[in-house]
Structure 1
Amino acid sequence: MGRLLSCLLVACLSLSAVAADAIKGERKEVFGDTTVHYSTFISTFLQPDIAKSAELVRSKNQGVINVSVIKAGKPVVTQVSGTVKDLTSASVPLKFKQITEQGAIYYIAQFPVEQQETRTFTINVGVDGKTETISFNQELFPGE
């Protein structure tokens, strides 16, 4: 599983290096001493064995969102939920699953990506007994 986290992080970094409109810099929100890191990418950036071990569908038409929550420098177990909307405002619920590895806890979910477009993500994260909401837009490019 430690390899899974490494590959997910490499995939996120690879995406920003490859795509012209990719994420510039680190994506995070800070709530007091808690930091929520998040990224999205197309699942073909994952190696087949990594996708299989995380039970993810590896496809040019499947996106992945990865969320991690750090409090006082340590990963924490929390509740993560959310939705992704397309340009027509059609909303798809995100079904996050928790991945726990040595020294890391993160939450991943998949969503369909049928064409190049900007999607609006709304992520709800439990922080210190309350729910914090993060909203962001991300242009996605299905693979070839």
Structure 2
Amino acid sequence: MKLAYKIGLLAGATLLMLLPARGRAEQVQRFDDYQVHYNALSSDMLPAEVAAQYKFSRSSKQGLVNIAVQKLDGTQTPVAVAASIRGTAANLAGQRSELVLREIREADAIYYLGEFPVRGSDTLNFDLTITPAGSARSYALKFSKNYITD
């Protein structure tokens, strides 16, 4: 039973990386020898078990951002790396929320999850600074996500 539980958790984590953000799939941006996978979605898209495991509330008024950083070393397989990530989510009215990202490590995967409020139907602009572990350089990641709440 314990093995089945671990497999379920790993499947849930993998699901977080693959979930579409209401019709818009995960995105990837390359910076030098790194690639950053990112997406943002409404937390009500999370399966109940995954939300409970990571202690996220499921609500159309709560968003979730997911970031993973990988080092490209010339081989076919990128390697997950830890990173320092800070940033904000701001709506078009200028209301800004500081993102607090939690590091999640499972098997060979490292990713960062953070919650933010969604106030009505709006476009949120994400502005992140990512510094991979061992790198002296930081990278700016900016993207937008449209939300429609009930």
Per the TM superposition, whether the score is higher than 0.5 is: yes
Tell whether the 8 Å contact from 1:44 to 1:58 is kept in structure 2 after alignment.
yes
SS of 2:57's equivalent?
coil
Pairs within 5 Å for 1:7-46: 7-10=15-18, 12-13=19-20, 15-16=22-23, 23=24, 26-46=26-46
- Partner residue in 2 for 1:20: none
- Partner residue in 1 for 2:62: 62
Pairs within 5 Å for 1:1-144: 1-10=9-18, 12-13=19-20, 15-16=22-23, 23=24, 26-72=26-72, 73-127=78-132, 128-142=135-149, 144=150
SS of 2:20's equivalent?
helix
How far apart, in 1, do the equivalents of 2:21 and 2:65 lie? 15
Q: Could you tell me which runs of 5 or more consecutive residues in structure 1 were left unpaired when the two chains were aligned.
A: 17-22
Aligned residues: 135
Normalised by the size of structure 2, how large is the TM-score? 0.83
Q: Which amino acid aligns with 2:140?
A: T
Normalised by the size of structure 1, how large is the TM-score? 0.86
* TM-fit CA distance, 1:9: 2.8
Q: Which amino acid aligns with 1:41?
A: L
Report the RMSD for the aligned CA atoms in angstroms: 1.5
Change (3 A) 1:41 1:69: same
Counting aligned pairs with the same residue, the percent is 25
* TM-fit CA distance, 1:47: 0.9
* TM-fit CA distance, 1:133: 0.9
